[in-house]
Amino acid sequence: MFMSRITTYTLALVAAVLVIPPSLLADTTPSLRVQIEDTVINLDLQQLDALPQTEFTTTTIWTDDEVHFSGVTLHDLLEHIEASGTQVKLTAVNDYASTLSIQDVTPHAPLIATRLDGETMSVREKGPFWVIYPFDSGAEYRTEINFTRSVWQLVSMTILDE
């Protein structure tokens, strides 16, 4: 009787493990969702890495020491997707959002960082993507507005025409 209970519980456990919801089997490769009007583009890490890459080392108010960021500039990304709006809304995994004028985007900043100190970033490490400025490169980057635009855990961008 005791063995049959163990066998029954074991079989139930195995059955529960084998019946995995499809949502858990989905690809967990990080991607950046970009929406332009009714069009949605999902860019994975490999696609972002195929774009021109920029890197810099800077201190931030969120890290203890100097850190090295690398990735694609927002300027190059917008050019690649041929965005023609006036604003970009940046949204994090927790729904924090910041909007910036496309006029404020330069060829050098901000950066959509795909790596921190050469490594991809988990959500716990402010990834998978982090909008960041080269704060140590000049006072124009160390502004309150740029701090609010430095969206970590970036998951989506919406190109607005307002």
Does the 28-160 domain belong in CATH 2.40.50.140? Answer: no
SS (H, E, C) the chain: CHHHHHHHHHHHHHHHHHCCCHHHHCCCCCEEEEEECCEEEEEEHHHHHCCCCEEEEECCCCCCCCEEEEEEEHHHHHHHCCCCCCEEEEEECCCCEEEEEHHHCCCCCCEEEEEECCEECCHHHCCCCEEECCHHHCHHHCCHHHHHHCCCCEEEEEEECC
Instruction: Quickly count: other Cβ atoms within 10 Å of residue 154's Cβ.
Output: 25
Residue type (1 letter), 55: E
Q: What are 65-87's pLDDT values in tens digits?
A: 999 999 999 999 999 999 989 99
Per-residue model confidence (pLDDT) at position 54: 98
What is the value of pTM for the model shown? 0.81
Residues of the chain with pLDDT under 70: 1-28
Task: Give which of 108, 113, 115, 125 is closest to 150, Cα–Cα.
Answer: 113
